[in-house]
Every structure is written in structure tokens, then in C-alpha cells.
Amino acid sequence: MKNYKIALIKGDGIGPEIIDEAVKVLKAVGGKCGFGMEFNEYLMGGCAVDACGTPLPDATLEGAKASDAVLFGAIGGYKWDSLPRELKPETGLLKIRKELGTYANLRPASVYEELLEASPLKPEIASGVDLLIVRELTGGIYFGEPRGRDENKGYNTMVYTRAEIERIAKVAFESARKRRGKVTSVDKANVLEVSQLWREVVIEVSKNYPDVTLEHLYVDNAAMQLVTNPKQFDVIVTGNIFGDILSDEASVLTGSIGLLASASIGDKYAIYEPIHGSAPDIAGQDIANPIATILSAAMMLRFSLNEIEAADKIEAAVKAVLKDGLRTKDTARFGAVRVLGCVEMGSEIASRV
């Protein structure tokens, strides 16, 4: 029997609660599909600062590199907001992404018909939305040099190399091949030289994928199109800062960030996590929605472990609980037959697996 080694980074706030439910579902699907999992826990974020004096201990980084994949909950909270930058929980997340070389952030956004009324868009616009944003994660303006500030000026540098653009474009085109065969590249090539290079390189890469349609949009137009005609999109590929903004915009279309998974993948390592934060205001109350984390676990099975059948079973189980009217507090007002806590929702999904 195959056995996979999974690093668990539960983090802060609701992180431990939602990770526990994802593990419950993973054990259920492993038993059903004939594979095992060895789970090892590591610290990152505020809990790591408290225990080790750093947001990313060396042991965590070593454990992540020794694993087949990383399943991560959430980090941060009011307790650590006043710390200097090098000690902030979020610094640990940025560092582990960089150290593991997870340069591609995959953010699916799908509107469930059972939760159609939860979307802020009109039903006829939101119905059928199913897109994937591929965001470059380790380059661009967040990492470019030089950067700095004084009393009167602050500056950052947006830099992309040909190699960085090529590898993220390949991820987008490969993803589109598994979906509906369309890539929309988002840039600001009418203003930015870095975007002009981005567009040129994406076009070059597209020649290796004649079965995939390529189109280009400026980022401001893409932002408008996401709320006026989101069904046109299949895979969107873009740089770090544009992807940060557009993926958050896309997440709103679904009606609840408690439903949205994500993956940060590289050539060797991968991190899977829900898109929401640590929600310290509801931590420990058994009201968090574990679905985003459970769907992140399904992405882990699909992209890192190639356990496609298991991923399909988890995604089908999530759809089944929603169809049956089972809701957590964040979506309780949308067709709820019964409102569940975090633990019970995890159990219901596991039972359907």
C-alpha cells in the first residue's frame, strides 16, 4: 500500500480546528482508495514565535522538505500585530514559499449552485462560474530590488525575468489542458515595460500549446470583467501583485471565503491552504467552516500525489453536504436545512466519502 508523508502546519487561530477536519477526511478517503498517510506536525506563525522566537523554525522548513506535501491552516492574529516585520507571522509564510520555491499559486473559484444566492452577483451572472487563477508567487514587486523608504519617499521595484515568466506560463497552459483549454494572460503592457516582456514571453510559450486558446487583458479591464462576465474565464495567469488582487476579487464571487482552496506549487515542493485567514475572533468556538481546507486537501491529492480518484471523492462529498442543506454559520442563511459546527461538518463530509 502506498504511504504518503504529509507535513501539517496548523498555525494560529482556527488553523488547528480546520486542519483536524481535513485530516479526518483524508484518513477516510485513504481507507477508501487504498493508501496511507503519515502526518507530522510543525510550527509556523504566531505559535512559532511564542514557542521558538521565530515565525519559521528550521525544523519546520526541514520537515516540509522531507514531506510529499504540506497542508497548512492559517497564521496571524491581533496578538502579534505589533511585532517587528521579521517576527510577524506572515513573514514565516513568505519565507517558506520562497525557500520551497513554490512559485505558482493556484486559486480556483467555483460557484456552487446550492449557494448561488450567497454570491453578490445576480444569479444569471454567477451561475456556472468555474475559473482558476494562476498567480506568480515568488517574484514581482513584492520581492524586487531596490526597495526602500525615507520620510518623504517610498519605492519598490517590479522585476520579472524571462525564466520566471516561462515557468508560470507553462503551469497555466498545462492547467488549461486539464480544464476547458483557454488561458487569459493579465498584464499592464500598455504602461509597464515588465508587462511588455510578460506578454511577449507568454505568447512564445503558447506556441507549444496549440490546443489552448490564449487571450490578453489589461489588469483594470480584467477586474471589471470578473464582476460583469466571469463565466468567460477558464484559467487566468498573471503576476504577483495583480494576482493577489484579482484572486481576492474572484473569491468574493462565490459568496464565502470559507469555501475556497488554494495551492502554492513549485518544481519540487507544494503547500496547500485555504485562502481565508486565522479568524482569531471565532477560534475555539467550533463555528469555523472547514470546507476550504478540506478542498485544499483534495487539491493536494490531485496535484502532488496524483490520487485523482480520491480528490474526486472529496469534492463530490462536499457537493453532497451542500446539496443536503448542511451549512456552517458563515453560509447558514443560504438554504440551510441544518447548521453544523466545524467538527460535525468535517464528520459529515468524511462519512460521505
Domains 1-107+257-353 and 130-253 are alike in CATH topology: yes
Positive or negative CA dihedral for 310, 98, 155, 197? negative
Hey, where are the domains in the chain? 1-107+257-353, 130-253
95 is catalytic: no
- 133, with CB counted inside 10 A (0-12, 13-18, 19+), is buried
188 is catalytic: yes
Active-site residue, from 50, 78, 81, 248: 248
Instruction: List strand residue ranges (DSSP E) for 275-340, in order.
Output: 326-327, 338-339
Span 1-107+257-353: which CATH code? 3.40.718.10
Q: What is the model's pLDDT at position 151? A: 95
Please compute the mean of the pLDDT values over residues 41-62 and round it to a whole number.
98
Beta bridge partners of 7: 40, 70
- Residue 136 main-chain phi, psi, to 5 deg: -70, 130
58 is catalytic: no
Q: What is the model's pLDDT at position 323? A: 94
Active-site residue, from 10, 188, 313, 329: 188
Mean pLDDT across the chain, nearest whole number? 96
Q: What is the model's pLDDT at position 35? A: 97
Cα distances (angstroms) measured from residue 126 to each of 10, 106, 197, 265? 33, 20, 33, 28
Active-site residue, from 244, 269, 313, 330: 244
281 is catalytic: no
Kindly report the pTM of this predicted structure: 0.89
CA dihedral 204, 206, 207, 208 (to 10 degrees): 110
Which is nearest to 241 in space by CA: 107, 141, 96, 93?
141
Q: What is the model's pLDDT at position 256? A: 80
142 is catalytic: yes
| Distance of alpha carbon 5 from alpha carbon 38, whole angstroms | 5
Give 268-315 pLDDT, tens digit per residue. Answer: 999 999 999 999 999 999 999 999 999 999 999 999 999 999 999 999
Q: What is the model's pLDDT at position 244? A: 92
Cα distances (angstroms) measured from residue 210 to each of 173, 198, 214, 248, 319? 10, 19, 9, 30, 34
Span 130-253: which CATH code? 3.40.718.10
Active-site residue, from 2, 78, 178, 220: 220
Active-site residue, from 65, 95, 142, 319: 142
| Distance of alpha carbon 258 from alpha carbon 42, whole angstroms | 23
pLDDT band at 335 (very low <50, low <70, confident <90, very high): confident
Q: What is the largest CA-CA distance in the chain?
A: 62
Give 56-103 pLDDT, tens digit per residue. Answer: 999 999 999 999 999 999 999 999 999 999 999 999 998 999 899 999
Find the helix packing angle between 308-323 and 291-303, rounded to 10°: 160
